[in-house]
Structure 1
Amino acid sequence: MTGMKEGAGENPFAEDPPDDTGSTGDSTTETSTESSSGGASGTDSTSQSASGSSRSGGRRSMSIPYKFRRDGVQDGRDRVPLFLKPDTKSAERDALRELEERFDADVSLTDLREALVMVGLEHLDEVEGELEEWGYGMRFED
């Protein structure tokens, strides 16, 4: 890397070098390994990373968020078909614009969709209510 100042190409999210116990160096490796295995494990590693700082006994360890450690938006994700009704698609587009304004940055539609699914999984009672409005749970008995 000619012409660059020393350290200019270093990762700003890199962790501090491990201390004598070696406790901080392993969390990034575990997080990266888990995220590359696919599926919802990327979100598991995110929640593990957030709790990792409390487990380190007061010493704060930083792990790299999924957005910055992936090679592309599809990295570590399984492709699943998604078919949306027009009003849902419109609401999704409005939510994307709203979040882009809040972050003052572009938000990936793929990231938004997974975040919506994850929040829905955490609020199954509300999902149940929506499904009931669509007719789930109705009985047609004599």
Structure 2
Amino acid sequence: MTGMKEGAGENPFAEETSSGTSDREDETDLGDVESAEDNTEGPVEQSASSPEQSTNRKPMQIPYKFRRDGVQDGRDRVPLFLHSETKRDERDALRELEERLDDDVSLTDLREALVIAGLDHLDEVEGQLEEWGYGMVFDN
């Protein structure tokens, strides 16, 4: 799913501005400037008509999946070479996550999610690298 088709009805994620146009129409090329991480963390500050509204109401953040035009938007192309076992495990993970989420998952999204998860678990990454021989010392 790459987004909503033009003319398929109103965009439920669009917010009306004072000029009557949606915020989405006023933005330019979000995919090249913003990352998914930048747009999904924390609330965006907005002025509210009363202090009570500002503490109880959080603006909706549009997930990366829905605000992009395609899976490559905002991403740099990097080569990825995988062992056949890793490729098989990747395919199995894709199927399992699609079942868990009850949604189609793009391979590009899965791969970036795996990289991000790995970055959050460097001890496990270190263990894998050690299995491959990194950190070995050979005395002369």
TM-score bracket, normalised by the shorter chain, equals: 0.7 to 0.9
Indicate the structure whose relative CO is greater, using CA pairs within 8 Å and at least 6 residues apart.
2
Q: 1:44 aligns with which of 16, 30, 37?
A: 37
Residue 73 of structure 2 is matched in structure 1 by 75
Report whether the alignment pairs 1:121 with 2:119. Answer: yes
Tell me the alpha carbon deviations over residues 11-32 of structure 1, each in whole angstroms, 9 at most, x when there is no partner: 11224658xxxxxx7xx959x7
Tell me the alpha carbon deviations over residues 22-63 of structure 1, each in whole angstroms, 9 at most, x when there is no partner: xxx7xx959x74x422xxx52322343xx1169953321002
Contact (CA 8 Å) 1:53, 1:59: kept in 2 or not? no
TM-score (norm 2): 0.73
Q: 2:133 aligns with which of 110, 131, 135?
A: 135
Bigger mean CA deviation after superposition, 109-118 or 98-107: 98-107
Q: Tell me, in whole angstroms, the C-alpha distance in 1 between the residues paired with 2:103 and 2:134.
A: 38
Q: Tell me, in whole angstroms, the C-alpha distance in 2 between the residues paired with 1:64 and 1:140.
A: 52
Report whether the alignment pairs 1:65 with 2:71. Answer: no
Q: How many residues align?
A: 120
Bigger mean CA deviation after superposition, 79-88 or 102-111: 102-111
Contact (CA 8 Å) 1:96, 1:112: kept in 2 or not? yes
Q: Tell me, in whole angstroms, the C-alpha distance in 1 between the residues paired with 2:17 and 2:55.
A: 17
Superposed counterparts of 1:1-20, under 5 Å: 9-15=9-15
User: What letter corresponds to residue 14 of structure 2 in structure 1?
Assistant: A
Contact (CA 8 Å) 1:15, 1:63: kept in 2 or not? no
- Root mean square deviation, CA, Å: 2.6
User: What letter corresponds to residue 102 of structure 1 in structure 2?
Assistant: R
Superposed counterparts of 1:104-115, under 5 Å: 104-115=102-113
Q: Tell me, in whole angstroms, the C-alpha distance in 2 between the residues paired with 1:58 and 1:17.
A: 21
User: What letter corresponds to residue 88 of structure 1 in structure 2?
Assistant: T
**Cα offset, 1:9, TM superposition:** 2.1
Q: Tell me, in whole angstroms, the C-alpha distance in 1 between the residues paired with 2:61 and 2:112.
A: 20
Contact (CA 8 Å) 2:13, 2:62: kept in 1 or not? yes
Which residues of structure 1 form unaligned runs of 5+?
A: 1-7, 19-24
